[in-house]
Amino acid sequence: MTALARLHEHNAWANGRVLAACRAASAQVLEPEGGESLIRRLRHQLAVEASFLAAMRGEPLPTDIPRTVEGLEAFAAACSPGLIELAGSPPEALQRKFRIPWFERDFTLQDGLSQVLSHSGQHRSEVAWELARAGIDCGNLDYIFWVQQV
C-alpha cells in the first residue's frame, strides 16, 4: 500500500471518529443559533471529498449531500474506499490530469488526493474544536495514534 493510500485510510478513520462524536452532540451544538453550523461544515468537507473523487474518476459531481450526522456517516463511508483505491495507484498513474470545474483548470491526481487530505484535516479539526468546547471528545485523531491501532 502506498503512503498516500495509508493517509487516506487515516482520513477515513478520523472522519468516522468525528462523525461518531457528533452523534453525542445536541442539536444546539450541531446547529447553534447565530453560530456556525457544524452540520454545514461537515457537509462541505465531505462534499469536497466526494466531488474530488468524482472529478478524478470523470463522473458527475454529487448533488445530494445528506443533512444528518447518520447520513453523513454513510456518505463518508461510501466515498472513502474510492479515494483509498485511487491513492494506491502507481506513481505514474498519479500524474494523470483531471479537471476541477470550479477552478477551471487541470490538476494531477496526486495534487487532488493531497488536497482532499489537507482540506478535510482543516475542517475536521474545526469541528473537533467546537465539539471539545461543548464537552464532547473526539479522541486522539493523530496519524501515529491511528497507526498504533491498526
Domains present along the chain, CATH in parentheses: 3-149 (1.20.120.450)
Per-residue pLDDT of the chain (150 residues; tens, 9 = 90+): 899 999 999 999 999 999 999 999 999 999 999 888 999 999 999 999 999 999 999 999 999 999 999 999 999 999 999 999 999 999 999 999 999 999 999 999 999 999 999 999 999 999 999 999 999 999 999 999 999 999
Cα(98)–Cα(84) distance, rounded to whole angstroms? 17
pLDDT score for 36: 85
Contacting residues for 77 by C-beta, under 8 A, at least 6 apart: 12, 16
Q: What is the pLDDT of residue 84?
A: 98
Q: Which of 117, 79, 113 is nearest to 95 (CA)?
A: 113
Of 142, 130, 139, the closest CA to residue 41 belongs to: 130
Length reported for the chain: 150
Output the pLDDT for position 89. Answer: 98
- DSSP at 61: P
Give the residue among 49, 50, 17, 11 at the shortest CA–CA distance from 132: 17
* Residue 80 exposed, middle or buried by CB count within 10 Å (0-12, 13-18, 19+): buried
- The pLDDT of residue 1 is 86
User: Per the confidence metrics, is the pTM higher than 0.85?
Assistant: yes
Give the pLDDT score at 130: 95
Q: Give the model's pLDDT for residue 34.
A: 87
**pLDDT recorded at residue 35:** 82
